[in-house]
Amino acid sequence: MAIWGIRFSIFPVVFVRLLTVVFVRLLTVVLFALSFDSLSAQQLSLPKRVVSLAPNTTEIVFALEQAGLLVGVTNQCDHPTQALEKQRVGDIMSPSLEKTIALKPNLVLSGEITPSQIQETLKKSGIAVHRIAPATVLEIPDAVNVVGALLGAEKQAKELAKNILVSVHAYQASAGERIRRGKNKAIILVQLNPPIAAGKQSWLGDILVRGGFENIVPASPMAWPRLSREFLFSHKTDLVLIDRSAANGNVSEKELLAQAALFWKGSSSSPQFVVMPRDVLVRPGPRIIQGLQFLQGLN
């Protein structure tokens, strides 16, 4: 009985330990299964067909190596050249609802000037719409991270966003010297006829200030105000930056400079006219890095 008594007293302890081991193993299996299910659900929720209604979002998708998801883009989405192979859904200001819906996207990336009624109609059709519209240069890396999260490309987005921030900081470091030199009154013309400029509420206006320039465009609730020739003529200007696509049609750099110079002809100002690389600044996307490096190198 003594022996039996000893065995009997040990049995509950062994049994409890055995149950604990079994429970822990079962719990591990369950947690693994749940995490697998969660991952599977996340993968299933990621978009398989994406339409981009803005050139900058198209460039972001390509930069994140997710171009295979793009089934439609606008007529203005021309970079990189592979974007030209994608199905067109119309202009950025008036994309075709019929063409967009016909592509059966489960995600539409809209831009700053995508008409709100287009976005609302797409949402009512059961299509997820996400607006990407950076208002400052520091919101551009945020936009990259948002698109990366939407497409399941967080790692690529994090690296690209980091590179943009590095470029921003390097550009801002040049501001002090520019301010000390003076002659920093500047304007960016994104269209020549009629003249439309980067206002203080735009990311380009923000970029000018961060680089030590003084934007001559008056305060306005509009990000891209239309200016009169009289205004340009009468305001002291040191530097006029012109987007390469500012003129209607395909014109040479010499013609662009000549058209812009007409606004200051006879003025007391004698600004320096500089044509910017095409679209690297006016599209708040990956090529903003090139744009900032270009501005940083200006004398």
CATH number of the domain to which 120 belongs: 3.40.50.1980
Tokens 């599209």 belong to which residue? 283
In a domain, 253, yes or no: yes
- Claim to verify: residue 206 and residue 289 sit in the same structural domain: yes
- Final residue before a domain boundary, out of 133, 162, 191: 162
In a domain, 23, yes or no: no
Q: List residues bridging with 91 in a β-sheet.
A: 94
What SS3 class is residue 31? helix
- Claim to verify: residue 158 and residue 216 sit in the same structural domain: no
Q: Which helix (H) or strand (E) holds 163?
A: helix 154-173
- Claim to verify: residue 243 and residue 143 sit in the same structural domain: no
- Claim to verify: residue 190 and residue 291 sit in the same structural domain: yes
pLDDT at 137: 94
pLDDT at 248: 75
- Claim to verify: residue 63 and residue 95 sit in the same structural domain: yes
What SS3 class is residue 132? coil
d(C-alpha 191, C-alpha 243), whole Å: 7
Taking the chain, what is the end-to-end CA distance rounded to the nearest angstrom?
101
In a domain, 44, yes or no: no
Are 224 and 196 in contact by the 8 Å Cβ rule? The answer is: yes
pLDDT at 17: 54
- Block mean pLDDT (10 aa), the chain, length 299: 36 50 48 39 72 98 98 96 97 96 97 94 96 95 97 97 96 87 90 94 92 92 93 94 86 92 92 93 95 89
What SS3 class is residue 109? strand
Tokens 């609302």 belong to which residue? 120
Q: What residues make up the domain containing 104? A: 50-162
In a domain, 89, yes or no: yes
Count of domains observed in the chain:
2
d(C-alpha 116, C-alpha 94), whole Å: 11
pLDDT at 167: 95
In a domain, 16, yes or no: no
In a domain, 26, yes or no: no
In a domain, 103, yes or no: yes
